[in-house]
Structure 1
Amino acid sequence: MARDVKSVFLAANPLAFLISFFHLMDSSEAVLDIIEPQRSTVEQRKRIYFPMNLINNSARTLCLGGGDGATLPTRKSFPESLTNLRFSELYNLPGEAVAMSPEIFSEMRDGNGKFLDKLRSHTTPMVCFKTDKGDTVLHLAASLGHLELVKSIVSECPSLLLEVNWKGRLPLHVAARAGQLAVVKALVEAVTYFSARMSEEDRGLNLYVLKDINGDTALNLALKDLHEKTELLMYQKRFRYQPSMFPRVRTISFSDASTHMMGTASWLVNANQGASLLANKDGISPLYLAVKSGNVSLVSEMLKHSGEVQGNTSNLASQLEGRKSLIHAALKAKNKDVLKVILDEDPSLVHERDEEGRTCLSVGASVGFYDGIKNLLELSTSNVFECDDDGSFPIHMAMEKGHRKVVKEILKRCPASKMLLNKQGQNILHIAAKSGKARSFRLPDIKRLDADNYLIQEQDVDGNTPLHLATIMWRPRTVSYITIVASKKTRILHIQNKDGLRPLDIAELKLQSDYVLRERLTLMVLLCVYKPRGVGWLPTSGMTLRSRSEHLDATKYKDSVSALLLVATLIATVAVAAGFTMPGGFNSSAPNLGMSVLANDSTLSYFLFFDTVAMQSSVIAIVALIWAQLGDPELIHGAFHLALPSLFVALFSMASAFLSGVLATIKQNRELTNVIIVISSIFYFVVFCLLAPYVIPQVLSIRLVQQLTDVYLGLLVWFVNEDDDTHTRVKKVKSVEQVEKPKVL
């Protein structure tokens, strides 16, 4: 009969089953201690939350035996607060869960130990209070590190040691995640106390390997936040010295929590020899997280204990659960010391692939970890010719990400690797052309890699050469590099892909009707090389270019014509007004009545000259734009060719007239004159840089003029950002939560 009662109760109470499963009580106490809790109603039993997956997932690891846990202290070493507890209280299950009031919640989080007196007098037992997340009072106290409060709660309600919240986390898990080392030690000490009272063969309750619903152990949770903070700090360091063209990101700083988490993780590693290798449901083990965070001492400690668990008969890969790509993680963390420790422990991990099917060398090449690549190549160069699951080779990954130093190192060790092709039949020049990493795609590199022009002429499975791909991706700087070589080998320019298109044909067909600077400059570079017939003057900005497939639409330029006409009219108005308002004023007496006071000053002559040029140039622009308003698309393009240079001259002449007029009136003050000249020179340069691409034409029909304008086009192309990854990285950093170090009051 007693056996039947016990079996019924164990089926209804998972916690009692778990404790019974690990033989935590002797047979004489078991029946007596179980009878009392079984009086709870069916409804109360449904409220008790202890996921069965903790039993299923941890049944194998919980009974690892005496050597797998921390050294059990003697009974005399335990604090007095624990020595008076009855062992049966450990599994004294709480009754029906009661919603925790805001007052209890705030007092427990505040660590108010005196509030326990009020809870004792409450009609509802302390063990029954839970938040909407299933946290007990012990969870709350443990998460914020209130050590004395934790000890008081444990001494009164030991059963809360094994009570989990809705995420399946024990108070130990919560304390470990928060980095509360003192609380972790106290909780482990409490459970160890009960374990010490059992017979030697029955000891086995191992909190270190208990997992939550995500499969995370306490050690895994302690390292999770540490790893996330390490990643944020890496992003901050990477962007701290970025050029000013990137948005400024607020500095990320952290309190001493990271140090506490590291201390907690280190203690848990030393306390248990096997938890470091246990993976969660995502296949991530504490060892993997430690490697990613780049902590050499912690990784070394874990690897030392891993050898103690299984002995020296098996390698690390066979012991490790989940992801075995530890070398990949070390390469991503760019930590040479961690990489060396792992390679010394188990060199066979070099042959592991990550979850994306990439080799170690490919990952190192992708992140640009030069020192790590050197270490791997010193071990073996065979991985250079081993492709990833997507068909890419390590040299392709390095070229795609623009890591020139890594590319040179791979080519130095394996020169033939430059001939490798991916699944699309693309060589390293194809990869560089479409990636937009122009810094890794310089003219000397092309000439050195491809002295016979074989790679630059090679076509992929779609018939595209590197020049085709650079055009398709609108990479003006890369196109410029390739066309310098192609201009000497005209055959390259006329290679057609499977659609029968040359690079120029692709650019003219795919050009958007909306103005995109990268697209227009790419087409301008190609036009300067191909020099098609019928193309004479073109604005360097390419604003008058249009796609072959685009229908002529006069209304497209309506707003542009109106804006330019307004600017030209304003310049003419200002020039006329300045001509009748002379600097220094007019004589009001004979014999020079009505004449300019500064008529004999040479500086005034410059003022009149520039003012006249500004007036006449603006009138020319106005007349040209009036013709443009008639609506003929061809007429509009011709009007732009005349109006834009005229406006450019008018704006510069108006500014020069202003400078001449000011200098004429302060000629006696030499210091002020010099200051004004310097300031004006700076602004002239800025205005020229901003307006020149808009108005200076590319004259393709006159060789000498084209050579001069080509120089300016090359300078303009150099300032175009064709790296698509830049915007992705900035967006990612801006989305990172900004954490500031709290002020110490």
Structure 2
Amino acid sequence: MSSLAIKIDENSIPRDDMANAMINRKLHKCVRQDNIEAFQSLVEQHLTEKLVTPSGNSLLHVAVSYGSDNITSYLARTFPSLITIQNSQKDTILHLAAREGKASHTIKSLVELNPSLIRKKNTKGNTPLHDAVITDNKEVAKLLVSSYPEVAYYNNNNGKSPLYLAVENGNKKKILDDLLKTEVSFPIKSEDGDAVPKGKSPVHAAIKQRNRDILEKIGKEKPELLRLTEEELGNSLHYASSIGFLEGVRFLLKKFHDGAYETNRQGDYPIHVACKSHSVDVVKEFLDIFPYPKEFLNKEGQNILHVAAKYGNGSVVRYILKQEQKLVAPLLNAIDEDGNTPLHLGAFYGRCTATFLLVRDNRVEHFIVNNRNWTPYELAEESSKRSEEKYIKTDEMRAEERKQFDSKNSIPAHEIKGKEVDSHKMDTKEASPKDEITVLYCQMVITLSILFFNACPKKSRKEIFPVIQLPMSRAKEEIKSMVGNLLVVTVLVAGVTFAGAIQLPQLRDKDKSREFNCTYEKLLCGYLFLDVGALSTSLVGALILLWSNFSYPKFQIPAVKFSISMVCLAIVMMFGAFFVSVRIALLGSHGGLLTIIVEVVAVMFFIAQAFLVFPWIIPLEFNHVLLQFLLHCFNYSFFLMFIYSRWWLPKKLSDLKIRHQFSKIGGRDFGG
């Protein structure tokens, strides 16, 4: 079958039915070069209103973007319908002029004749002024804002106005100055109702950059902007306090004093937000101006000490506690809506440093109960249990997910060979939550230990040593298992000690002085005493177990308890015998340092062994209490050595440095 080529002459197509055609390279070149004569001859052969680029730009868009003023003027005069056309991104000719062009005479005329173009937004929600500010096109920005000042406060899709963008850009080319020097009335409303005071505040942008110069500029030209709020961040004082911007807080407290009495969405005053941050200087600034902190209560009825303890800001807690008694006294034991004192909140949230500072202050009551009738220690105990359950549950969930992942992604070995496997890919998402829960659990445990030694309510003997009664069937099974294990241990100890009695330790060199021989005989007597004692006690324990097991089964429980004591004592004596044999082996040795090292290590292990054996001798219920006490001791010591000391030492050195400076100034003044 032969192909048929059909040639169509575009001039033969009716112009009314012609679809949008692409701008050819000749037209594009003429526009770029602003060649009006060649352009006019070429444009007569096309339907100008239908010519576009792939992005939907008309000839007028292209002319404006290249700054071709002659062609721009010709097209605007000859084809006025092109002026209001928007491309695929809904950009008008002013958007392109703002991004790429200049404020030529033609552009100025178009702005004057078509003021509605200034308010047009593209798909990003940007007006031409937005684009002018983003590209630092000062000339076009000045033209647009002078023609329609309100557009400086219109918000784009991200809630940012041109004024916000100018602040965010650091006032490059002084565009911010032009935007502020306009007479506008508030509130401002755009056609779609999205304008300042909605959206992002330019004052918040200046605070975010910690730029006091821009803050002062805004306060001088447009002081009403200082009162703008953002839903998430609150007013300007809230935001400056949250990031610890001291200079900004000082300026705002002078220019926007009333902002200190406003609450944010969470119901907090700026002074509460300052207590959540770690900036003591900001809290000090508030207290210097508002020396009545008890009057500032958030929606939960919490004062500044409540908030500082809740968020674990030890520096702020320490500063508040050091203030004069009249200022601090109403805060120390105040209760919130739930009946919690600052110590309750520090205990519940596991804020170890804040809890330690509060519990060590004699003015703080340790045993106040909240609405649930819990003291701070009991609240911390309950919170610690929940944290432990969450920690265990998360660990089990991760193990289950790992198991499911392995089962779903089990690939034969021959398929895996030659492929690179990322071993960290599976754990990346779950690592962060697990780490957070681990840290929280550790903080809760340490906080509980601090309260155990400083604010633990007295308990009755029954509460300390609860009687645990196991079911009879379970008790029989456990006793049977313990009897078997103890018999194995006693036989092993008896066998080792019997072998030690047969082969006594000997001196390495028998030709020693009489003094060494006397020492050897004493050590040998001690060795025999310990070895024979270990053998005897282990045999006694084994015989009692056998006697109770076969002759009198009802005495198994006391027999097991007595045998445990005998076995533990035998093990300690066996280690003592070994220690004496080492002393005999080192007797007369010239390696003094080696002898000391061996003896010190042996003594340390002997103490550790006795420490581990001791819980087996004491009753089971007391054993649990002892273990709990030892864990609290470890956690408390760990806190004092590694957490509190790292925090306290720099603070103490800073205080000493300040005192030294004041003393030097005072001495200089006195001397003067």
TM-score scaled to structure 1, two decimals? 0.49
Q: What residue in structure 1 maps to residue 408 of structure 2? A: none
Q: What residue in structure 2 maps to residue 334 of structure 1? A: 210
Q: What residue in structure 2 maps to residue 609 of structure 1? A: 599
214, 219, 232: which one pairs with 1:343? 219
Tell me by how many angstroms 1:468 deviates.
1.0
2:48 matches 1:92: yes
Q: What residue in structure 2 maps to residue 168 of structure 1? A: 90
Compared CA separation, residues 194 and 281, structure 1 to 2 (3 A): closer
Deviations 1:407-451 (Å, cap 9, x if unpaired)? 211221221244211111111111111122222221664543765
Distance (Å, rounded) in 2 between the aligned partners of 1:717 and 1:164: 63
Distance (Å, rounded) in 2 between the aligned partners of 1:351 and 1:148: 41
C-alpha contact 1:521 1:717 (8 A) present in aligned 2:
no
Q: What residue in structure 2 maps to residue 502 of structure 1? A: 375
Deviations 1:667-696 (Å, cap 9, x if unpaired)? xxxxxxxxxxxxxxxxxxxxxxxxxxx796
Tell me by how many angstroms 1:614 deviates.
4.5
Where does structure 2 lack aligned partners over 5 or more consecutive residues?
Answer: 1-12, 23-31, 392-437, 465-469, 476-506, 514-583, 648-672
State the secondary structure of the residue aligned to 2:335: coil
AA aligned opposite 1:714: L
AA aligned opposite 2:18: S
Distance (Å, rounded) in 2 between the aligned partners of 1:213 and 1:407: 44
505, 521, 525: which one pairs with 2:446? 521
2:18 matches 1:40: yes
Q: What residue in structure 1 maps to residue 262 of structure 2? A: 386
Distance (Å, rounded) in 1 between the aligned partners of 2:455 and 2:350: 17
Q: What residue in structure 1 maps to residue 284 of structure 2? A: 408
Q: What residue in structure 1 maps to residue 416 of structure 2? A: none
C-alpha contact 2:15 2:47 (8 A) present in aligned 1:
no
Q: Which one scores higher on RCO, CA 8 angstroms, separation ≥ 6?
A: 1
Q: What residue in structure 1 maps to residue 589 of structure 2? A: 599
2:175 matches 1:298: yes
Mapping for residues 121-160 of structure 1, pairs under 5 Å: 127=52, 130=54, 134=55
State the secondary structure of the residue aligned to 1:375: helix
Compared CA separation, residues 639 and 356, structure 1 to 2 (3 A): closer
Distance (Å, rounded) in 1 between the aligned partners of 2:272 and 2:586: 73
Distance (Å, rounded) in 2 between the aligned partners of 1:633 and 1:403: 48
640, 647, 650: which one pairs with 1:714? 640
Tell me by how many angstroms 1:300 deviates.
1.1
Mapping for residues 25-104 of structure 1, pairs under 5 Å: 38-40=16-18, 80-82=34-36, 85-86=39-40, 92-94=48-50
C-alpha contact 1:361 1:384 (8 A) present in aligned 2:
yes
343, 359, 362: which one pairs with 1:483? 359
Q: 1 or 2, which has the higher helix percentage?
A: 2
Distance (Å, rounded) in 1 between the aligned partners of 2:355 and 2:205: 36
- Say which is worse superposed, 421-430 or 147-156, in terms of deviation: 147-156
State the secondary structure of the residue aligned to 2:156: coil
Tell me by how many angstroms 1:620 deviates.
3.9
Q: What residue in structure 2 maps to residue 323 of structure 1? A: 196
Deviations 1:473-520 (Å, cap 9, x if unpaired)? 1101111111112xx246x21211111111111111221335721011
Tell me by how many angstroms 1:336 deviates.
0.9
Deviations 1:179-227 (Å, cap 9, x if unpaired)? xx6x433xx76xx65986x9xx994377655420232124424656xxx
Tell me by how many angstroms 1:610 deviates.
2.4
Mapping for residues 448-463 of structure 1, pairs under 5 Å: 448=324, 453-463=329-339
Tell me by how many angstroms 1:319 deviates.
8.6
Deviations 1:515-573 (Å, cap 9, x if unpaired)? 7210111101111112444799xxxxxxxx9xxxxx9xx9xxxxxxxxxxxxxxxxxxx
Mapping for residues 217-616 of structure 1, pairs under 5 Å: 217-221=127-131, 223=133, 261-262=135-136, 264=137, 266-273=138-145, 274=148, 275-281=151-157, 283-295=159-171, 297-304=174-181, 306-307=182-183, 314-315=184-185, 322-324=195-197, 325-356=201-232, 358-379=234-255, 381-442=257-318, 445-448=321-324, 453-485=329-361, 488-489=362-363, 492-512=365-385, 513=388, 514=391, 516-533=441-458, 599-616=589-606
C-alpha contact 1:291 1:330 (8 A) present in aligned 2:
yes
Compared CA separation, residues 498 and 618, structure 1 to 2 (3 A): closer
C-alpha contact 1:467 1:503 (8 A) present in aligned 2:
yes
State the secondary structure of the residue aligned to 1:184: coil
106, 113, 123: which one pairs with 1:213? 123
Deviations 1:236-265 (Å, cap 9, x if unpaired)? xxxxxxxxxxxxxxxxxxxxxxxxx33x3x
C-alpha contact 1:411 1:418 (8 A) present in aligned 2:
no
Tell me by how many angstroms 1:401 deviates.
1.8
Compared CA separation, residues 458 and 638, structure 1 to 2 (3 A): closer
Where does structure 1 lack aligned partners over 5 or more consecutive residues?
Answer: 1-34, 48-77, 96-126, 225-260, 308-313, 537-544, 546-550, 555-585, 643-693, 699-709, 722-745
C-alpha contact 1:279 1:286 (8 A) present in aligned 2:
yes
Compared CA separation, residues 292 and 611, structure 1 to 2 (3 A): same
Distance (Å, rounded) in 2 between the aligned partners of 1:330 and 1:316: 20
Q: What residue in structure 2 maps to residue 742 of structure 1? A: none
Distance (Å, rounded) in 2 between the aligned partners of 1:528 and 1:415: 34
AA aligned opposite 2:179: M
AA aligned opposite 1:499: R
Distance (Å, rounded) in 2 between the aligned partners of 1:343 and 1:88: 56
C-alpha contact 1:625 1:640 (8 A) present in aligned 2:
no
Compared CA separation, residues 175 and 427, structure 1 to 2 (3 A): same
Deviations 1:303-358 (Å, cap 9, x if unpaired)? 23x34xxxxxx557659971234333323332111111111112233333334583
AA aligned opposite 1:433: A
Identity among equivalent positions (%) equals 23
Q: What residue in structure 2 maps to residue 228 of structure 1? A: none
User: What is the aligned residue count?
Assistant: 447
Compared CA separation, residues 153 and 609, structure 1 to 2 (3 A): farther
Deviations 1:2-34 (Å, cap 9, x if unpaired)? xxxxxxxxxxxxxxxxxxxxxxxxxxxxxxxxx
Compared CA separation, residues 80 and 371, structure 1 to 2 (3 A): same
Distance (Å, rounded) in 1 between the aligned partners of 2:588 and 2:82: 97
Distance (Å, rounded) in 2 between the aligned partners of 1:623 and 1:140: 90
Structure of higher CA gyration radius: 2
C-alpha contact 2:449 2:633 (8 A) present in aligned 1:
no
RMSD: 5.3
